[in-house]
Amino acid sequence: MAPKPISSPVPVAWYPSLAVLMLSIGLLVTASFFIYEATSSRRNRSLSKEIVTGAMASIFLGFGSLFLLLATGVYV
């Protein structure tokens, strides 16, 4: 029995679109995080909101970078 080759669960044609979409969302969430930090006083800040916003930005920018690398032919 021959081994089955590993294939991507996401079609290769979607890589550029996913890269642009996820990087755009990540940059928007990052911008909202910076605006929140710059406009709120130290007493009014919420640690949970900062952690959730930072985690969301990190996830979107990470996957966006991954799909950007895959779209350009750097297979990681």
Separation of CA 34 from chain center: 16
Please check whether residue 13 lies inside any domain of the structure. no
Please check whether residue 1 lies inside any domain of the structure. no
Domain of residue 62: give its range: 23-72
Please check whether residue 18 lies inside any domain of the structure. no
- The whole-number pLDDT of residue 6 equals 87
Number of domains, the chain: 1
Please check whether residue 39 lies inside any domain of the structure. yes
pTM of the model: 0.87
Longest dimension (CA), the chain: 65
- pLDDT tens figures, 16-62: 999 999 999 999 999 999 999 999 988 999 999 999 999 999 999 99
